[in-house]
Amino acid sequence: MPGEEAYGPAVDRSALGLARPPRTASYRGFIFVSFDPAIESLEEYLADARDYVDLVADQSEAGMEITAGTQRYGIRANWKLLCENSIDAYHGAITHARYMRFLSSTGGLSLDSVLDPGGGGHARSLGNGHAVMEYPSPWGRPIAHWVASFGEEKRAELEQIERKLAELHGVERAKRIAHMSRNLLIFPNLVINDIMAITVRSFFPIAPNEMLVSAWNLAPVDEKPDARAMRFDNFLTFLGPGGFATPDDVEALESCQRGFANPEVGWSDISREMNRADPMPTGELQMRTFWRRWNELLTRERSQQRMGVERLTA
Binding site for other proteins (CB under 8 A): 67-76, 95, 97-98, 101-102, 105-106, 212, 216-217, 225, 228-229, 232-233, 235-237, 240-242, 244, 246-248, 250-252, 254, 258
To the nearest whole angstrom, how small is the minimum distance from the Cβ of residue 177 to other proteins?
A: 22
To the nearest whole angstrom, how small is the minimum distance from the Cβ of residue 12 to other proteins?
A: 35
Please identify, using beta-carbon distances, which residue of 251 and 296 lies nearer to other proteins.
251
To the nearest whole angstrom, how small is the minimum distance from the Cβ of residue 249 to other proteins?
A: 9
To the nearest whole angstrom, how small is the minimum distance from the Cβ of residue 40 to other proteins?
A: 33
To the nearest whole angstrom, how small is the minimum distance from the Cβ of residue 75 to other proteins?
A: 6
* 3-state secondary structure (DSSP) of residue 151: coil
Helices vs strands, H then E, count in the chain? 10, 10
Q: Which residues contact 213 (CB under 8 A, 6 or more apart)?
A: 71, 72, 73, 74, 75, 82, 201, 202, 203
Please identify, using beta-carbon distances, which residue of 227 and 280 lies nearer to other proteins.
227
To the nearest whole angstrom, how small is the minimum distance from the Cβ of residue 150 to other proteins?
A: 13
Please identify, using beta-carbon distances, which residue of 208 and 247 lies nearer to other proteins.
247
Per the DSSP assignment, residues forming a β-bridge with 185 are 131, 191
To the nearest whole angstrom, how small is the minimum distance from the Cβ of residue 92 to other proteins?
A: 13
Query: Which amino acid belongs to residue 256?
Result: C
Please identify, using beta-carbon distances, which residue of 77 and 158 lies nearer to other proteins.
77
Please identify, using beta-carbon distances, which residue of 165 and 190 lies nearer to other proteins.
190
Query: Helices marked H in the chain — which ranges?
Result: 42-46, 49-57, 79-86, 92-95, 97-106, 155-169, 171-179, 225-238, 246-260, 285-313
> Distances from the Cα of 241 to the Cαs of 72, 247, 249, 251, 306, in angstroms?
9, 5, 10, 11, 45
CA distance 168 to 89: 30
Per the DSSP assignment, residues forming a β-bridge with 132 are 124, 184
Q: What is the DSSP letter of 141?
A: B
Q: Do residues 47 and 128 touch, judged by C-beta distance below 8 A?
A: yes
Please identify, using beta-carbon distances, which residue of 224 and 300 lies nearer to other proteins.
224
To the nearest whole angstrom, how small is the minimum distance from the Cβ of residue 302 to other proteins?
A: 33
Please identify, using beta-carbon distances, which residue of 57 and 236 lies nearer to other proteins.
236
CA distance 305 to 300: 8
- Quickly count: other Cβ atoms within 10 Å of residue 36's Cβ: 10
Query: For residue 124, how far is the Cα from the chain centroid?
Result: 14
> Distances from the Cα of 200 to the Cαs of 12, 140, 273, in angstroms?
40, 18, 28
Please identify, using beta-carbon distances, which residue of 229 and 274 lies nearer to other proteins.
229
